[in-house]
Amino acid sequence: MPHSRRVREFKLSDVEKENFVKLQKQINIMFNNEGLLIQAFTHSSYVNEHRKKPYEDNERLEYLGDAVLELTVSQYLFQKYITMSEGELTKLRAAIVCEPSLVKFAHELDFGRYILLGRGEEMTGGRTRPALLADVFEAFIGSLYLDQGLQTVINFLSLHIFPKINDGAFSHVMDFKSQLQEFVQRDSTGSIEYKILQEKGPAHNREFVSKVLLNGETLGIGSGRSKKEAEQQAAKEALLKLKESSK
């Protein structure tokens, strides 16, 4: 478990204290150092209104949480998608850790209700502001890492984030070959193989025809100006067939 210094005590109202007890019950994680959790939900506007009190905002935790998310999501994708290239993995990870996705995660966990805001930020709708919610989610991950280590973060993501990847929530950023691979892996239906059926046309205007097979059975045929494009079109046709048959 990483070393974490003690965060200075927060002088919260009874309602605020109770909210953080509720939050820990909601996520089924009790912090050893509750101050870290509170700091993760403390916006700079709140700190600015309590200058005489020992508050710290969540910006440093956000920085740490961003790095922890990158690492844990990268590890998960690396282990799950063994045929994906570095570029495809990077693109998929970017879709998972981008601001719109983090905002969705924060909304689903109802993190907005627990944020400590200054009056001005509260009045202008800060509690639902996308950038603020994304920052809070990252800061929470940072606080969880400091308090309980990487494995607890992975356990948390395994409950709330990784299942979304498994369910195809981010497949729109994957190419057809990757989507087909994911679909087959998810349903454990067998192995995929691509074969070039035909090459035709002059050298400056070649056309390739490819087929994709699942357990030796042809699922799709596609054509294109390159072998890669032909395989993509074959995978697209195969995906449509598999999705239609699974309805």
CA–CA distance, 183 with 238 (Å, rounded to integer): 10
Q: Which two tokens stand for residue 84?
A: 């994906």
Q: Among 34, 66, 121, 237, which one carries the catalytic annotation?
A: 66
**Could you tell me if 220 and 236 are in contact, meaning their C-beta atoms sit under 8 angstroms apart?**
yes
Catalytic-residue membership of 110: no
According to DSSP H, which parts of the chain are helical? 14-27, 34-40, 44-48, 59-80, 86-97, 99-108, 119-123, 130-148, 150-160, 162-166, 176-187, 227-245
- Between the alpha carbon of residue 1 and those of residues 4, 66, 148, the distances in Å are 9, 18, 6
Q: Which of 135, 115, 106 is nearest to 38 (CA)?
A: 115
Q: Among 62, 88, 121, 138, which one carries the catalytic annotation?
A: 138
Catalytic-residue membership of 138: yes
- Between the alpha carbon of residue 50 and those of residues 11, 44, 53, 192, 215, the distances in Å are 10, 10, 5, 60, 65
- Displacement of CA 5 from its chain's centroid (Å): 28
- Between the alpha carbon of residue 192 and those of residues 11, 69, 170, 215, the distances in Å are 59, 31, 21, 7
Active-site residue set? 66, 138
